[in-house]
Chain A
Amino acid sequence: MKISGAQAFIKCLEEQGVEVIFGFPGGAVIDLYDELLKQDKITHVLVRHEQAAVHAADAYGRVRGEVGVALATSGPGATNTVTGIASAYCDSIPMVVFTGQVPTMLIGNDAFQEVDIVGITRPVTKHNYLVKKAEDLVPTIREAFHIARTGRPGPVLVDLPKDVISAMINFPEPQPIKMRTYRPTYEPHPGQIEKACKAILKAKKPVIYAGGGVIASNSSEELTELATKLGIPVTMTLMGLGGFPGTHDLSMGMLGMHGTYYANMAVAHCDLLIAVGARFDDRVTGRIDAFAPHAKIIHVDIDPSSISKNVGVDIPIVADCKHALTAMNSWLDRTEACDAAATVKKHEPWRNEIDAWKKKHPLGYVQDSDIIKPQFVVEKLHELTGGNAIITTEVGQNQMWAAQFYKFNKPRNFMTSGGLGVMGYGFPAAIGAQMAAPNRTVIDIAGDGSLQMNIQELATARQYKCPVKIAILNNNYLGMVRQWQELFYDKQYSATVLDVAPDFVLLAQAYGAVGLRARKPSEVEPVIKEALATDNTVIMDFVIAREEGVFPMVPAGKATTEMLLV
């Protein structure tokens, strides 16, 4: 029996286990929306801007450990997805984005709402497709999901011309996907594992540097086992937060531009750097020749092109982090030369050295009795949620304060636009996270600038009864750029002062959400408590110290030991 392309599309999503998709309709995808209405297995979340659909799908996928799905129409619908796709690409987030396209016979004609979205997104997708023949529709969708979720995950775009989704086709039986050219390496080379383990046993000052790959591969347990077995201190990238418990004695928190003093010092002085699922990004390394200058480097990554890209690596291991860490743990367990207890003891002087740095310059801020400090708000959020909330962030100071002061103990609790740094990510991401985990507390730690980039999603949050909480660290500035201007541009606050801003409390109310405001430190706790007790979308407007900065800070292009401190 033949079915329409649109019906086949729905069947494909069901086959992939998709429960929620985020999208916005339009002329080219009406057929798909018609079919969506006729079924009840897949919930469609109607966003108010296609960019938000992609960010929401991003966070949904991250919370669930599945492939997020977004849907947009042709032309402007498609181009609006680009920022979200690029963000997911930078952060290696598994996602499939479907876009409508004009009928195949009109492609290339400059038709109404026609755009070459496959051409536009080529550099920001793991792979993309224009489905030109109806019989290719189902195999292409299956391949798209396969590519998105395997190997180094990433976004895949599938462009669907209108005549393809209205054509009548036979629905082919699922078959194992065999691709001639795409076979990611999951298993590590045993020889490399042995080399790495021997180097680890030999090291006197080892540091583990964990990135988003630990979260993507669900290997935080294996990582924690390795670190605790041998007493190795751990630092995490922004994307890696939660990959190792933030409150653990061995945790040094985040490294890099706004990393802790002790994490950066430890990396600068270590003799062995064990990089796991991280990519030596410039915000982590600072001046590249001064990064871990005394260290031998082990690098575990599923993407061979990440290895020795920015920093030369001594022991490369191309593998899935989970497989590699499991292999390392088991090598250490079965090797007689490895005396775990003795190794933990051997590293004690090194841990003491790090503790001394920690005592010298702990992560901190100067508390104030009259004005709310943003770090205090984040600390209170951590305290009052027991560290168990899902936190999303916008981009800028809010993001860094969240990363520094909310101690993530578990993976998949922190969603941020790490690589691309998209202002406007946090709120739609919070909606996606809440749809993925309806019973969890979800908080978007926001700035007043970033939030306004996707503030229209208040309507979406209300429509789908997402009780997400938005904590605005409101300084009436585009704070991070202002901080750079203060430090490096003679305090010339060019275009960073937000002279006109909405009253966020009234704005929340206008959407039927709840608005709360705190002006004094004493009001912070009551406001958070009230928000957490409210079964509705809540904006908490924290009026913070306007010119508070994010510290430590490594100025761009400097060595990570050249930190500006509080």
Chain B
Amino acid sequence: MKHTISVLLQNKPGVLSRVTGLFSGRGFNIESLSVNQTLEADVSCLTLVTTGDDAIVEQITKQLHKLIDVIKVTDNSETDCVEREMILIRVKAEANTRAEVLRIIDIFRGKVVDVGPKTYMIEMTGNAHKLQAVVDLLRPIGIQEIVRTGTIAMIRAHKN
């Protein structure tokens, strides 16, 4: 099962390699990874997507906790959260397909951010499923290149 894990880290040199080294050394998977600053200048948030059964994810969480620079580990799969990725797609856009491309990205609330003589560059955000759906729809038209970020996640506010 897929798990999105958020890790708050002290922003120190080499801290990312402590995390990734832990995963490679213990044979855990990383499917995607995203790191950036938080509100506190010396704290980073690392979000990673991994797969494994409950026992493996429990070990991953505990091992991450053991790293001295790790402040907090949250397995978002156990909570109601918003997950987002961003994708840039360069897709063929010739006279006979332009309208179709625009229609598709409009449905998915994407936008064109660069126009070439025969291509569009499209920017879109969403969860992994949504982005995959767009990629699948555009593929027959002709995707030339894609670049995709890792997942980031934030827990939803308590309703009451």
Where the two chains meet, the residues of A that have a C-beta atom closer than 8 Å to any C-beta of B are 118-119, 122-123, 126-127, 130, 132, 147, 179-182, 303-305, 308-309
Contacts and interface: CB of A to CB of B under 8 A. Distances in A.
A127 B67 CA distance: 8
Nearest to B69: A181
A119 B14 contact: yes
Contacts of A305: 59, 62-63, 65-66
Contacts, number: 37
Majority-rule SS of B interface residues: helix
Contacts of B71: 180-181
Contact of B68 (A130, A132, A182, A304): A182
B5 to A, nearest CB: 15
Nearest to A126: B68
Nearest to A147: B68
Contacts of A308: 55, 58
Interface of B: 10, 13-14, 17-18, 21-22, 25, 55, 58-59, 62-63, 65-66, 68-71
A122 B21 contact: yes
Contact of B14 (A118, A126, A179): A118
Nearest to B43: A180
A303 B66 contact: yes
Contacts of B63: 305
A304 B66 CA distance: 9
A304 B64 CA distance: 11
A181 B14 contact: no
B121 to A, nearest CB: 36
Contacts of B25: 123
Contacts of A304: 62, 65-66
B13 to A, nearest CB: 7
6 contacts: A123-B22, A179-B68, A181-B71, A182-B68, A305-B66, A309-B59
B66 A181 contact: no
Given A123-B22, A305-B62, 10 more contacts: A118-B14, A122-B14, A130-B13, A130-B14, A180-B71, A181-B68, A181-B69, A303-B66, A305-B63, A305-B66
A126 B18 CA distance: 11
B62 A181 contact: no
A308 B55 CA distance: 8
B65 A119 contact: no
